[in-house]
Amino acid sequence: MLQVSLLIKADILVHNCTILPMKGEEIIQKGFIAITDGKISHIGKATKALSVQAKRTLNGQGKVALPGLVNCHTHVAMTLFRGIAEDRPFDEWWEKTIWPLEQKLERSHIYNGALLGCLEMIKSGTTCFSDMYFHEDAIAEAVQKSGLRAVLASGIIEAGNRDQGRRMLDEAVTIAQRFQGSANGRINIRLGPHTVYTCSPELLKEVRKAASKLKIGLHIHLAESMSMKEAVKANFGLTETELLEEIDFLDSDVLVAHCIHLSKEDRQTLKKHDVKVAYNPVANMKLASGVPKIWDLSKQGVTVGIGTDGAACNNSFDMFESMKFAALLQKTLFRDPAVLPAEKVLRMATIEGAKALGIESTVGSLEVDKKADLILVDFEKPHLTPTHDFYANLVYSAHGSDVDTVIVDGEILMENRKVKSLDEPQVMKRAQENAYGLIKE
């Protein structure tokens, strides 16, 4: 009889699965992951000399374990606006439909919309998201309830009203002081000045100063539309990136979303300041905003994560869909099928996404002592058979609905497609009622 030489005790054992740690090129077949006190305590290939005693055991037969996906840019409460402003030019979409509806939003609307977004993300394998919106305290409460991890930025818009800009900055600072590090460290806070064209240079300087004092990061839209680019150039004689550099806004703690209309010099500036980028391929295509040169940014060494943007301009929080379009859009732009290969895209949605949010030491890869944020993808599906390349199947063939199990901070949020942390029918019912009410008003 073989004598057991090593005994491991754990809270949760995931075993008999294929593991993509995303810390290198290693793929572990017939592997196991032991989770203790919310962290990964052991990970590797199962052997007969190893015994694990766990309070909960999850059989990973036919499943692939990987880090939970990181959605680097969204407006989670905009689930309430899904499908109401379709097939319109960007300026019309924003000015005539979305912005007027946002003026009607109350705190309860945002909470219920955020819960719906959190539910959708759990069911499609996202374990952490980066948000920018109003009433971010309500979104923080939704995150706490859902069990997800999030980096939340309170939106700040001046739009020519200095008092409004100052008030929104003060509110954002208050929320940062209240929620930074809350929910057992699952919530981190940033400040979210909307754009260069809705915030004056003076306000942006104040926001930068406040973030530095609080030791938190910044999240801003950059070079998203041609009209935005032209307006800033006309007013200041500079590109948006040049203006942000001139006022000393840019640093390694800044996350910029979109980056479609950047010059070569702008891209070099982002690299110089170690600014992080959130690439939103589906939303950019849907609004016909353009295609950012992500492959160029990546080759320059800029950290790039992937985002969905809000449900009003994407309709989905499915990061598997966004990964596929992220790759295909760059291949089309550069007319080169070798551009942005599958493994690189999956890294952008996991460890690179975590780095973009400044939390790569905590999550983004499956390693001992990192937080246990992971998902199990069911590969026993026709569209995932056969498996010649795990990365290719995940990026080009998988869907969010293939996610079977989601664990965040060592807590099982979904098992066998059943969400444990939220009442799924009730969340959908309340969000639908809120959405219909806003349209009827």
The CATH architecture that domain 69-356 belongs to is Alpha-Beta Barrel (3.20)
- Residue-wise pLDDT for 171-189, tens only, equals 999 999 999 999 999 999 9
- Residue ranges matching CATH 2.30.40.10 in the chain: 6-67+374-419
Q: How far is CA 341 from the centre of its chain?
A: 20
Question: What's the mean pLDDT when you consider all of the chain?
Answer: 96
Q: Which CATH superfamily is domain 6-67+374-419 in?
A: Urease, subunit C, domain 1 (2.30.40.10)
Predicted pLDDT of residue 441: 63
Predicted pLDDT of residue 2: 42
- Residue-wise pLDDT for 20-48, tens only, equals 999 987 899 999 999 999 999 999 998 87
Q: Rounded to whole angstroms, how far apart are CA atoms 178 and 154?
A: 12
Residue 216's identity, in one-letter code, is: I
Confidence of residue 66 (pLDDT cuts 50, 70, 90): very high
- Residue-wise pLDDT for 264-286, tens only, equals 999 999 999 999 999 999 999 99
Q: Cα-atom radius of gyration of the chain, to the nearest Å?
A: 22
Q: What is the mean pLDDT of residues 286-314?
A: 97
Give the helix/strand (H/E) hosting 411: strand 411-415
Q: Which of 1-5, 139-143, 144-148, 249-253 has the lowest mean pLDDT?
A: 1-5
Which residue intervals of 147-279 are DSSP H helices?
162-179, 201-214, 226-236, 240-246, 264-272
Within 8 A by CB and 6+ apart from 35, the residues are 10, 11, 12, 13, 14, 41, 372, 407, 410
Predicted pLDDT of residue 415: 98
pLDDT for residue 49 is more than 80: no
Q: Which of 213-217, 257-261, 435-439 has the lowest mean pLDDT?
A: 435-439
Closest CA to 272 of 234, 230, 304, 301: 301
Predicted pLDDT of residue 68: 98
Predicted pLDDT of residue 1: 35
The separation between the first and the last C-alpha atoms of the chain, rounded to the nearest angstrom, is: 74
3-state secondary structure of 122: helix
Closest CA to 124 of 389, 378, 381: 378
Tokens of 429: 């019912």
- Residue-wise pLDDT for 322-377, tens only, equals 999 999 999 999 999 999 999 999 999 999 999 999 999 999 999 999 999 999 99
The pTM (predicted TM-score) of the whole model is 0.97
3-state secondary structure of 51: strand
Q: What is the mean pLDDT of residues 198-215?
A: 98
- Residue ranges matching CATH 3.20.20.140 in the chain: 69-356
